[in-house]
Amino acid sequence: MVVAYGQSEDVHGAHRLFSQAPHRNVATWNALLSVYARNGHLWAARALFDVMPARDLLSWNTMLAAYAHLGGDDECERGTEVVTSMAWEGTAPDEVSYLCLLVVCNHFGLLHTGCRYFASMASDYGLQPGKEHYSAMAGILGRLGLVHEAEGLITLMPCAADAVSWTALLGACHIHPSRQQLRRAHEAAKKVAALEPHSVAPHILLSAIAAPHE
């Protein structure tokens, strides 16, 4: 019921129902935490998280996702500190945890931190990065102008790159335009068009990249 209120954006109703619950377990706390995060109430989510009597992996991932998608510049450090706190409490991060961390690093251009997390997946926890992790890491590289490195990472993925990965490269070419990036942009746009033939996004981006060179 708490989650149902949150899905309808009735945050106050969800809080009222939570307050009236005679028995609360970690699932109940997680439900309200998710409601706050889903509706953009980052500070309320963090305040609730800090007083939870017990947390599980879903609790941590919900907070990581909130920081990844809602955190401003002043919240970046808090987001990256969450995974350290997880270790202190004996909760191992999973693939979702690391994806959220890489998204945070992408938002704030944290190259070295992102590389450390990307490598940590396998070395510390035996987790294999998936397409989403490669795309996020490519986004970090591309955002900082390391477009050649981003392209290399995408082409070296152990699985076939998807449209999200190639779109990330296309976006990097748009942020850092040059004649060299135009070649990469053409190739990336072809890949996206083949994977998503009905999408107009790659054509729009390619036109914007090519315009200064026409």
**Per-residue pLDDT, 175:** 87
pLDDT at position 60, please? 95
In a domain? residue 111: no
86 within domain boundaries: no
- Could you report the per-residue pLDDT of 25-54, keeping only the tens digit for each? 898 899 899 999 988 888 999 999 999 999
Instruction: Please report whether residue 200 resides in a domain.
Output: yes
Calculate the alpha carbon distances from 39 to 9, 117, 127 in Å.
Answer: 6, 28, 30
Q: Is the entire prediction scored with pTM above 0.75?
A: yes
Read off the amino acid at residue 168. A
**Is 160 contained in some domain?**
yes
Angle at 181 between CA 175 and CA 186, to 5 degrees: 105
Q: Is residue 207 part of a domain?
A: yes
Task: Tell me how far CA of residue 137 lies from CA of 19, 105, 111, 117, 178, in angstroms.
Answer: 41, 9, 9, 10, 22
- The answer to whether residue 173 is domain-embedded is yes
Residue 40 lies in a domain: no
Spans in the chain with pLDDT lower than 50 = none
Q: Domain total for the chain?
A: 1
Domain containing residue 165: 130-214
- Single out the residue of 103, 191, 111 nearest to residue 146, CA to CA: 111
3-state secondary structure 145-179: CCHHHHHHHHHCCCCCCCHHHHHHHHHHHHHCCCH
Specify if 92 maps to a domain: no
Structure tokens at 158: 């152990």
Q: What is the pLDDT of residue 48?
A: 94
For residue 58, CA distances in Å to 62, 71, 146 come to: 6, 19, 34
Q: How confident is the model over 150-176, as pLDDT tens digits?
A: 999 998 888 888 898 999 898 888 888
